């Protein structure tokens, strides 16, 4: 693979735009490897967002004065940018607070619209984040649909055989809702294979981990719904998007009611606004949506292809270097589908202790815990060769990381084993 390690000049420009990378943590240069939880923020995007709030902000769609017109224009321009980013139509893009809200909105709307009914089956995988598991599981108790799983092997990997086994076991699922990339194992899911295998199902993709570093074409992949969060792609927290095919969105009953999403209200009933406003009740996170648009501009100007190649190379290097350490147990696949993050444990050392020492002695930010995927932890425990603590350490990279960051991580892990192992 052609190396995409940034030149010193290019990396200096990145450092300028992410000033926290100049910070020292406990006397060490910050090494930020917690990108799967949330990415760092760009001073360029924040400056543009600040200018919007200070000089152009007003509530949108509801007035004809200049500020309202400017704010509405910026807000709708951001929607257009998201639509172009995923190859959708603007009216198919709904702003949300993030992936979790997007999935909850879909589950509630599907049952309210009688599209998902008692006796129907929803198929998800055993590697899902709680955001794509708990809503289905809980509402199945109230509405009578069933939840089935594509089973993972003991490494937490979804294999072609497990997809076929799910097809033979589950009789025509009404909905297939699956992560585009696991936030625990790093596995990038074969969306095209899943679409082909379950042709008649409504396909929902949790794109939280995938969208930040991989171009997704919702039309080419024939995705029915896609949800993602801005904060995992250098945008502010509290903003995300839900994409849905127009024909399906037209059929859905909104799950949130209030202002703006209505057409006409009487004392007897209500008719809804046109898409996408039908699903955007109340005052939205206007500044967040505008900043998400700025973020897309930033990433596209930086080069999405460059970002993807850089993350792929770092992912490969991270996996290779951790695989060389005999006291480290790695979870997930060991091939090119393993992207952007690695979850692992150090034999004999609790993951919380690993993360704490990495922070205190090396300035490295990692994540430890069950990563909002407790059921998956029970799967990984079955295949573990160490005393599995039902949690892991997770190191995750983004385009502002370098191989040097991974080298420091490896040094830190060896230090921990010498002192605690």
CATH topology assigned to domain 8-38+304-420: 3.90.1150
The conformation of residue 120, written as its DSSP 8-state character, comes to -
Q: Which of helix, strand or coil describes residue 179?
A: strand
What DSSP element (H or E) covers 331?
strand 328-331
CB hemisphere CA count around 341 (13 angstroms): 31
pLDDT at 4: 55
Q: List, by residue number, the catalytic residues.
A: 372
d(CA 167, CA 161): 10
Which residue stretches of the chain have pLDDT < 50? 1-2
b/e burial code for range 256-277 (CB count within 10 A of at least 16 → b): eeeebbbeeeeeeeeebbebbb
Asked if residue 135 has a cis previous peptide bond (ω within 30° of 0), the answer is no
Q: Which residues contact 141 (CB under 8 A, 6 or more apart)?
A: none
- Digit-coded pLDDT (tens) for 49-79: 999 999 999 999 988 999 999 999 999 999 9
Q: Which of helix, strand or coil describes residue 4?
A: coil
Name the residue ranges covered by the structural domains of the chain.
Answer: 8-38+304-420, 46-301
d(CA 401, CA 286): 30
pLDDT at 2: 43
Q: Residues 102, 106, 108, 109: is their CA dihedral positive or negative?
A: positive
d(CA 167, CA 358): 43
Neighbours of 138 (CB within 10 A): 13
Domain 46-301, second-level architecture: 3-Layer(aba) Sandwich (3.40)
- Digit-coded pLDDT (tens) for 170-180: 989 999 999 99
Q: Among 416, 310, 406, 259, which residue's Cα sits nearest to residue 353?
A: 416
- Digit-coded pLDDT (tens) for 186-239: 999 999 999 999 999 999 999 999 999 999 999 999 999 999 999 999 999 999
Q: Which residues contact 217 (CB under 8 A, 6 or more apart)?
A: 86, 87
């Amino acid at each position: 693979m052609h190396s995409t390690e940034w030149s010193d000049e290019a990396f200096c420009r990145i450092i300028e735009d992410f000033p926290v990378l100049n910070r020292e943590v406990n006397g060490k240069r910050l090494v930020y490897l917690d990108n799967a939880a949330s990415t760092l923020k760009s001073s360029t995007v924040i400056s543009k967002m600040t200018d919007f709030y200070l000089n152009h902000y007003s509530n949108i769609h509801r007035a004809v004065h200049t500020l309202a017109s400017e704010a509405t224009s910026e807000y709708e321009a951001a929607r257009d940018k998201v639509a172009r980013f995923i190859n959708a139509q603007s009216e198919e893009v709904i702003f949300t607070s993030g992936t979790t809200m997007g999935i909850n909105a879909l589950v509630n709307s599907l049952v309210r619209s009688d599209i998902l009914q008692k006796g129907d089956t929803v198929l998800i995988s055993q590697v899902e984040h709680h955001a794509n598991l708990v809503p289905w599981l809980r509402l199945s108790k109230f509405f009578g649909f069933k939840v089935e799983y594509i089973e993972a092997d003991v490494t937490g990997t979804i294999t072609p055989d497990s997809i076929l086994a799910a097809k033979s076991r589950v009789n025509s699922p009404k909905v297939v809702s699956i992560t585009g990339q696991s936030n625990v194992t790093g596995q990038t899911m074969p969306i095209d294979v899943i679409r082909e295998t379950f042709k008649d199902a409504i396909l929902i993709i949790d794109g939280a981990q995938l969208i930040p570093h991989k171009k997704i074409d919702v039309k080419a992949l024939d995705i029915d719904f896609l949800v993602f969060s801005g904060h995992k792609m250098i945008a502010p927290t509290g903003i995300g998007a839900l994409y849905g095919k127009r024909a399906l969105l037209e059929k859905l009953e909104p799950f949130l009611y209030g202002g703006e999403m209505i057409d006409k209200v009487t004392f007897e009933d209500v008719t809804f606004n046109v898409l996408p406003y039908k699903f955007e009740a109340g005052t939205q996170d206007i500044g967040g949506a505008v900043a998400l648009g700025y973020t897309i501009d930033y990433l596209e100007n930086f080069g999405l292809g460059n970002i993807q190649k850089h993350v792929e190379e770092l992912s490969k290097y991270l996996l290779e270097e951790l695989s060389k350490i005999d006291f480290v147990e790695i979870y997930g696949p060991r091939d090119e589908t393993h992207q952007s993050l690695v979850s692992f444990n150090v034999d004999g050392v609790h993951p919380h202790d690993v993360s704490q020492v990495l922070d205190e002695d090396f300035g490295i930010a990692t994540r430890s815990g069950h990563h909002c995927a407790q059921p998956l932890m029970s799967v990984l425990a079955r295949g573990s060769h160490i005393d599995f603590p039902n949690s892991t350490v997770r190191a995750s990279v983004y385009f502002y990381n370098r191989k040097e960051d991974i080298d420091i991580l490896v040094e830190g892990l060896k230090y921990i084993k010498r002192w605690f192992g």
